[in-house]
Chain A
Amino acid sequence: MDLQLDTEQAILRDTAERFLAERYDERTRQTMADREGAWRSEIWREFARLGWLGLPFAPDDGGSGGGPVEIAVLMEAFGRHLVLEPYVATVILSGGLIASLASEAERQRLLAPIIDGRTVMAFAHEDRGAPATATPVSTGYLLSGQKKAVLGAPLAEALLVSAVMSGGGKGVFWVPASSPGITIRPRQTIDRRWAGEVAFDNVTVPGSALIGANADAEASIDAVIERAIAALAADAVGAMTVLVTATVDYAKTRVQFGQPIGRFQALQHRLVDMKVKEEEARASCLFATLSLLENAGLRRRAVAGAKAKIGRCARAVYQDAIQLHGAIGTTDELPVGAYAKRLIAFESLFGTTREHLRRYAGIIADPQVSAAALLGDGL
């Protein structure tokens, strides 16, 4: 049992913090936010140079073999600096699926351009209406269906898309985003990231587009979404940390009734409440992060629980951050609004707080599960 960052993890944390503090300023964010579909990010290539785009992949695949903790460390820094680049879409989701499903040859071919920053990808998974289908034809497959809220889609050169196979299982296909029959309707999200509705209208793909020739990829899809949720949880913790610090600092400097408002006990108690929620969210995120190395049952429980718990804490924190900043907190004059929106996005992505709370309730309703200690019981 050890819950401390090791030396290399601490270096990663410090490097990320230093780099983003220097390089990821408001203008960089603005450029990224305004750039619909026209993907030319200098900062993305720097991410590649720093090794971040290959962080979770095996050294044999050209990555640096980082685990969930390394990803969480990086994502927390992204949350602190409101990084808008499609890291989760490209590296965690798309790269993660390729790493888990693909053959060695496919991994060499598809991961290399992700790792060196040439290719941005998105994973089109959640269906709008009936599930997308893959119909076998002589040349390969015909893909049809509607995918909603696909993170990073307008920026992506290639898509992974999940579709129901004729055998009933799900496959994951690699397709160029420019393929005939694909329509992407760009949508900016509340926190100024890019997502899109993606329609597949009889898109022809070769048989080799089915990643790993695997017609039963559901478990891998679930696992990679759990990793995305844990990564976004760390991002949310980073954003909460900034909000709490900013609100405490504001209370120390804003003078009313002849003294800093942080001297008033009613406000002190609310600030402590925010800080406590940040600490609980961090602990919950750590549980989800470490669970990714464990069995599917523990992963489901920890990830659903963390999504619900952090969603609840995040909402309380940004609401109080706005309240304690007073009128200025309701505008975009200060970063409070941008951080609040980042956290609202977290509440909605990959299942809402309420959906995950329901899922968690179903898991924990078994008294044996609820009785198990987090340390050593391995449930």
Chain B
Amino acid sequence: MDLSLNAADIAFRDDVRAFLDAQVPPSMRQAYDLTTGLFVDPDIAIHFHRALYRKGWSVPHWPVAYGGTGWSPVQRYIFEIECARTGAPAFNGAGAHFVGPVIMRFGTDEQKQTYLPRIRSGDDIWAQGYSEPGSGSDLASLKTKAESDGNDYIVTGQKIWTTFAHKSNRIFALVRTSKEGKRQEGITFLLIDMDCAGITVRPIIGNGGDHEFNEVFFDAVRVPKSNRVGDENKGWDVAKYLLEFERGGNFVAGRARASFAKAVALIAARCPEDAALAARMAEIGTDLDAMEMLELSVLSATQTGTNPGPKSSLLKLRWSQIRQSICELALDAIGDDALAWIERRPLDEGLQLPPDDESLLAIGPRYLNSRAYTIMGGTSEVQTNILAKLLLGL
């Protein structure tokens, strides 16, 4: 066993660092620092994505045939760590991480040719149409229906908690095509253009003040059947495949460590003598070390072809909790400065205060926003149910 990088990996890291130094200007880093939601605004992040695209690095994890880089898992890990360290914004995970791999696995040749290049280039931004008002954790109860009409489906219903639907030109959605048999067996996976007649997007403002979520209404929206991925009524298998990526597929340690280091710097600057806070900081630091090691262990196992299996639920469960605890640590570090609030989003638009004061203003909203980490992508309670079943056989 060893926890070191070989010479080729170190050379690779140097290349990545040089690229990021050149392509992530201070204004982009500042936008990242002052983002209170989970994601940097796509209008800003697209510039970084385009730079990655020009370099051939916009979808590193994809197979080379579809434009991936062919990097080893360790190189992908290094890339993620360096992006996090630099404050490089992530762009459209729903496209590159969710629907992209689904189209590769289940899509037709035509779908692959139509959609995959546009995800790579950033021409398409995808939203995920899964949750509905009555279908959160119990996703299979979804009601948005797609009725057959010749070569089309007529889609009617409502999706909710749709991240960046207002910035997306496409949405993938789970819809009900049958009410017969098991609920899971009447679900179909569709690709839908957001500019179709009958689609309405209404914003939902989070209690952190950010507009990330939306409601999406479908009123007799006509979708060609050629936009179906997989067979009719087989969408649940597609959805489960996607959820594996949502829960495990990417690396979190870099982003978590970057935000932890910022909280540590805040404590060092503002309350270095606070023993209770130092103890909490240390506990979180040990949690982070353990999770980073766990993530690396899973990575190491994938190098020899082992599927992470239920470990991806374990990683999702604990990373979401630890990232929350880091936001909470930062909140405690600023003490009663947490009282201050400004409504404007993004915070850095029309910047009037010195950047340091602005970054303090991001901490309260980010803390509130972080409460969603343990809800989105399958709540902690659902992950725990999955672990009880798959890991413990209960």
Contact = CB atoms under 8 A, between A and B. Distances in A.
B300 interface: yes
Contact of B292 (A281, A308, A360, A373): A373
A7 to B, nearest CB: 13
B286 A305 contact: yes
A327 interface: no
A137 B291 CA distance: 54
Interface in B202-258: 253-254, 257-258
Nearest to B262: A367
Interface stretch (A56-64, A91-99, A144-152, A266-274): A266-274
Contacts of B372: none
Interface string B103-130: 0000000000000000000000000000
A50 B258 CA distance: 46
A373 B272 contact: no
Interface stretch (A117-125, A282-290, A336-344): A282-290
A365 B286 contact: no
A358 interface: yes
A275 B281 contact: no
Contacts of A251: 394
Nearest to B301: A4
Nearest to B383: A272
A373 B253 contact: yes
A2 interface: yes
B290 A357 contact: no
B294 A279 contact: yes
Contacts of B384: 268-269, 272-273
Contacts of A373: 81, 85, 253-254, 257, 292
Contact of A375 (B77, B272, B291, B301): B77
Given A2-B1, A248-B394, A360-B285, A309 B268 contact: no
A375 B268 contact: no
Interface string A258-280: 00001101001101110110011
Contacts of A365: 264, 267-268, 272, 278, 281
A1 interface: yes
A365 B272 CA distance: 8
Residue among B1, B74, B317, B393 having the largest count of chain A Cβ atoms under 10 Å? B1
A312 interface: yes
A309 B285 CA distance: 9
Interface in A283-305: 283-284, 286-287, 290-291, 293-294, 302, 305
A3 B4 CA distance: 10
Contacts of A286: 1, 293, 297
A290 B265 CA distance: 27
A305 B286 CA distance: 5
A129 interface: no
Interface in B57-88: 74, 77-78, 81, 85
- Interface size, A (range): 35 or more
Contacts of B3: 1, 3, 287, 290-291, 294, 374-375
Interface string A298-334: 0000100110110010000000000000000000000
A5 B289 contact: no
A12 interface: no
Given A272-B391, A276-B314, A374 B286 contact: no
A364 B286 CA distance: 10
Contacts of A273: 384
B260 interface: yes
Interface residues of B: mostly helix, strand, loop or mixed? helix
Residue among B253, B285, B287, B301 having the largest count of chain A Cβ atoms under 10 Å? B285
Interface in A58-83: 69
A308 B392 contact: no
A255 interface: no
Nearest to A290: B3
Contact of B293 (A269, A284, A367): A284
B279 A357 contact: yes
B287 A280 contact: yes
Contact of A3 (B9, B281, B296): B296
A309 B290 contact: yes
Residue among A268, A287, A308, A376 having the largest count of chain B Cβ atoms under 10 Å? A376
A130 interface: no
A361 interface: yes
Given A279-B294, A283-B297, A308 B257 contact: no
Contacts of A284: 286, 289-290, 293
A309 B81 contact: no
A280 B294 contact: yes
B38 interface: no
Contacts of B381: 269
Contacts of B1: 2-6, 69, 286, 290
B40 to A, nearest CB: 20
Contacts of A5: 1
29 contacts: A2-B1, A4-B304, A69-B1, A262-B394, A268-B388, A280-B318, A283-B290, A283-B294, A284-B286, A284-B289, A284-B293, A290-B1, A294-B3, A305-B285, A309-B289, A357-B279, A360-B285, A361-B279, A361-B285, A366-B268, A367-B265, A370-B257, A371-B264, A373-B254, A373-B257, A374-B253, A375-B78, A375-B81, A376-B4
Given A3-B3, A268-B388, A375-B81, 9 more contacts: A2-B1, A3-B300, A248-B393, A272-B384, A284-B286, A287-B289, A294-B3, A373-B85, A374-B293
